Amino acid sequence: MDKYDKDRDFMRSSTESKSTKNDLAEYYEGLKNYIANIDSLRRNAYPLPVPGKTGATSIPSVQEKYLAPVIQRNGDRLCKCNRCEKTFYLSKDGMQVHEDQCVFHYGRIITKRVFILRFKYFGGWNGYFNERAYSCCGQLVGRTGCTTYKNHVFRYYGDMSSGYVTTASSITAGIGVYALDCEMCYTSNGMELCRITLIDHNIKIICDTLVKPSGRVIDYNTRFSGVTESDMEGINVTLRDVQATLLSYINGDTILVGHGLEHDLLVLKLIHEKIVDTALVFPHRRGLPYKRSLKNLARDHLGRTIQSSDKIGHDSIEDAATCIDLMKWKIKNDEWKKQLTLLKNLYFRKPINEML
């Protein structure tokens, strides 16, 4: 990850885009067909407004697993580890009460072809079978974790009753399309924002900055976030600063593009309903709750390699740009299919003597 200038102003003004306003309007109109409806946002745990309650949000109970319930007990908090699923206690100052290492798999669960030797005397047979395995080490699901960390971590997005900001429609503001990607770290408050990237439809960087979490950092999650402790030295940008910057660019009619944006909006405490989520536009063949990774989508549809193993952490600029390009590909590909179907219908409706 590129090093950051600690003294720079993180609110970067966008320079004039190389593309014309017509290009933006065309892209905006094309994206309208892929905006997730309210039911889809609700099913995927997007923060939604609560009628009559400013600054509050609600998440369906079916998605409470994302909140990692926290129970008060003698001032300590009982938490469930987001990695190994053990329960542990945090003190008031955010320290783990009892020393206990976390043993876990950091990879996704994938389907793997494995050769299994079985005894035919017991009615089995030898051959290759599909088994669920971890992408990090290839071990089958249920095996002991391949990675250890000194502390447990928990996923919790804070109080849902306050602190949220909502984008509002604007008569004077023009149309806009932005791609958003956030990196998160684990703190004594749960999951918090540590980097935010916002780019426009022309892959021009609008905002790219590190953000100081409000809680004590337990794990910077560097393997995925790319953020280290040294990167955060001297960073004073707060979540409130980021919210103010985003609201200066994004209004209620702006289309936000991203991959699995529900997590990004939760750590940003931002409520926005015009969402194009590439994880939903390109659904997994097995349906929800399964979702395809951005890495696989980039490989299959763009012929692009992202999030390679030789890099430390994800590049949020690269991820956001990939989402923009995926939707440009999707719009063109669907339009091509539509035209092809139209031509086929016209062709087969012709009289036989005209086709000879």
User: Are the C-beta atoms of 196 and 258 separated by less than 8 Å?
Assistant: no
User: Are the C-beta atoms of 197 and 104 separated by less than 8 Å?
Assistant: no
Give the distance from CA 52 to its chain's centroid. 29
pLDDT in tens, 132-176: 899 899 898 989 999 999 999 998 888 787 889 999 887 777 889
Is residue 116 within a helix (H) or strand (E), and if so which, with residue range?
strand 109-116
pLDDT in tens, 248-298: 999 999 999 999 999 999 999 999 999 999 999 999 988 888 899 999 999
Domains of the chain in start order, with CATH, are 21-65+167-336 (3.30.420.10)
> Which is more confident, 27 or 69?
27
Q: Residue 301 has which token pair?
A: 């549809």
What is the DSSP code (8-state) at residue 201?
T
Q: How far is CA 341 from CA 29, 41, 266, 350, in A?
A: 21, 31, 41, 15
Q: What are phi and psi of 78, to 5 degrees?
A: -90, 120
User: Are the C-beta atoms of 17 and 202 separated by less than 8 Å?
Assistant: yes
Is the model's pLDDT at 10 over the cut of 50? Answer: no
Closest C-alpha to 223, from 339, 311, 110 = 311
DSSP reduced 3-state for 177? strand
Where residue 14 falls among pLDDT bands split at 50, 70, 90? Answer: very low
Q: What are phi and psi of 22, to 5 degrees?
A: -65, -35
Residue owning tokens 């000879």: 356
User: Are the C-beta atoms of 264 and 236 separated by less than 8 Å?
Assistant: no
Q: Distance (Å, rounded) from C-alpha 226 to C-alpha 46?
A: 25
Give the distance from CA 319 to its chain's centroid. 10
User: Are the C-beta atoms of 25 and 175 separated by less than 8 Å?
Assistant: yes
Task: List all residues 6 or more positions away from 270 whose beta carbon is below 8 Å from its beta carbon.
Answer: 47, 164, 165, 166, 167, 243, 246
What pLDDT shows up at residue 286? 86
- Alpha-carbon dihedral of residues 304, 263, 203, 173, nearest 10 degrees? 150
pLDDT in tens, 47-93: 999 888 887 787 754 345 555 556 666 778 888 899 999 999 988 88
Total number of residues shown for the chain? 356
DSSP reduced 3-state for 119? coil
What residues pair up with 251 in beta bridges, in sequence order? none
Is the model's pLDDT at 6 over the cut of 70? Answer: no
What is the number of alpha carbons within 13 Å of residue 99 lying toward its C-beta?
A: 0
pLDDT in tens, 89-134: 988 888 899 889 999 999 888 887 776 665 555 555 666 778 889 9
Q: Which amino acid is at 259?
A: H
Task: List all residues 6 or more positions away from 354 whose beta carbon is below 8 Å from its beta carbon.
Answer: none
Average pLDDT on 238-244 reads: 97
Q: How far is CA 234 from CA 190, 217, 231, 268, in A?
A: 22, 15, 8, 21
What pLDDT shows up at residue 355? 46
**How does the average pLDDT of the chain come out, rounded?**
85
Q: Residue 165 has which token pair?
A: 């900001």
Q: 213: cis peptide before it, omega within 30°? A: no
